[in-house]
Amino acid sequence: MAEGLPATMRALIKAEAGPGFRLVEAPLPAYGPRDVLIRVERAGICGTDLHIYEWDTWAAGRVRLGRVIGHEFMGQVAAVGPAVRTVAPGTRVSGEGHIGCGHCYCCRTGQGHICDRVDIIGIDVDGCFADYVRLPEENVWPLRPEVPDEVGALSDPLGNAMHTVMVDDVAGRSVLVMGAGAIGLLITAIARAAGALDVVTLDVNPRKLQMARAMGADAVQDARDPEAPAALLARTRDGRGFDVLLEASGHPAGIRMGLRLLRSGGWAGLLGLPAGEMGLNLAEEVIFKGITIHGVNGRKMYETWYQVEDFLTHGRVRPEAIVTHRFPLERVDEAFAALRGGEAIKVLLEVGEAADASWVARTG
């Protein structure tokens, strides 16, 4: 153990097979010769964490009890294994939470984001809702000085959004963004910055729609409004539909509506996860229209990370505003309540020194 490190740390774990997390005193993560130990400063709560918090069927089938939760974070390198070459203690970093096996077909053909045996921090291995988290050196991403701490903590969802926008061409095209949660909002901002001609964002939450405007949407629309489809089609050339659908709602109704509003020959990037199987008129909505569908999973390692860094350092995307709530680790239940209630967009947990500044629960 490196000098100056405590023997134990605070960690939020999934303690029992039911709702909630427990804050415990746990040993520091063991780190090997090629690993980096990071002192977490800020960690983001995402929809996946909500599933684990509530302990739904997916979570119960995948997450082992005792697991330290959390996969979105930024912090400082606290210690490195003897074989680590690229980062040193004190470096401000975020990191890719999908740890590829490095040996499967996908990993060995440059597609580590769809690794057969991926370990995701906070799900399959211990995560970042703790004072310290361990990552392999190659997963550690040093943050440029221009990137503020809170934006660094958004690296994971920023990467999901970037991957979705960059999976095909958006420049000069009309883009429909389905869903204005954190990732839908980031998709809105990135699509705009990547040269989309007309970006329209849909949701059912007025507060999120207002935020979508602030993130650069040319128009927003309540997806439940019965007049919405006609109004949206009227924006497009000859009412033919949008060139591109970027799907971040995961709701079957949203996915179906998005595909219906897509023009013949258009393309869709599907990132939102429906809870189970869903019905779709494949012949009418996809095949006859000659639509191309891209499934989007995680972030490309590490092309997506370079793209996010470039957009941030050139000031093309300013995602700070999506962080609406901040809580210290101890108040995790309030953090999840804010998320579940729909008033929060992105909630950050402040860990260690970041939490010393008194916590603020803003409604934006």
State the residues that interact with Zn ion by CB under 5 A: 46, 100-101, 104, 107, 115
| Minimum CB–partner distance for residue 311 and Zn ion (Å) | 19
Active-site residue flag, 51: yes
| Minimum CB–partner distance for residue 27 and Zn ion (Å) | 25
Q: From the candidates 51, 71, 98, 163, which is the catalytic residue? A: 51
Nearest to 164 by CA among 191, 197, 125, 143: 191
Which residues, in sequence order, are bridge partners of residue 326? Answer: 348
| Minimum CB–partner distance for residue 338 and Zn ion (Å) | 16
Nearer to Zn ion, 115 or 244 (CB): 115
Contacts 24+ apart (CB under 8 A), 198-203: 198/174, 198/235, 198/236, 199/175, 200/174, 200/175, 200/176, 200/232, 200/235, 200/242, 201/177, 202/176, 202/177, 202/178, 202/228, 202/249, 202/254, 202/257, 202/258, 203/179, 203/249
Nearer to Zn ion, 109 or 358 (CB): 109
CA 116 to chain centre: 20
Residue 207: half-sphere exposure toward Cβ, Cα within 13 Å: 13
| Minimum CB–partner distance for residue 347 and Zn ion (Å) | 12
Q: From the candidates 8, 48, 188, 324, which is the catalytic residue? A: 48
Nearer to Zn ion, 41 or 72 (CB): 72
| Minimum CB–partner distance for residue 44 and Zn ion (Å) | 7
Q: Which two tokens stand for residue 285?
A: 């909505």
| Minimum CB–partner distance for residue 114 and Zn ion (Å) | 8
250 and 278 Cβ atoms separated by less than 8 Å? no
Give exposure, 176-203, as e/b (b: 16+ Cβ within 10 Å): bbbbbbbbbbbbbbbbbbbebebbbbbb
Nearer to Zn ion, 73 or 311 (CB): 73
The 174-178 sheet, strands edge to edge:
219-222, 198-203, 174-178, 242-247, 262-270, 292-295
- Strands (E) in 195-237, as ranges, are 198-203, 219-222
Active-site residue flag, 48: yes
Nearest to 354 by CA among 149, 155, 156: 149
User: Kind of pairing, strands 35-45 and 72-80?
Assistant: antiparallel
Nearer to Zn ion, 5 or 104 (CB): 104
Q: Which residues have a Cβ under 8 Å from the Cβ of 138 and sit 6 or more positions away?
A: none
Nearest to 353 by CA among 329, 318, 317, 319: 329
| Minimum CB–partner distance for residue 140 and Zn ion (Å) | 18
Q: Which two tokens stand for residue 193?
A: 């910055």
Nearer to Zn ion, 198 or 247 (CB): 247
Nearer to Zn ion, 100 or 136 (CB): 100
Mind telling me the catalytic residues?
48, 51
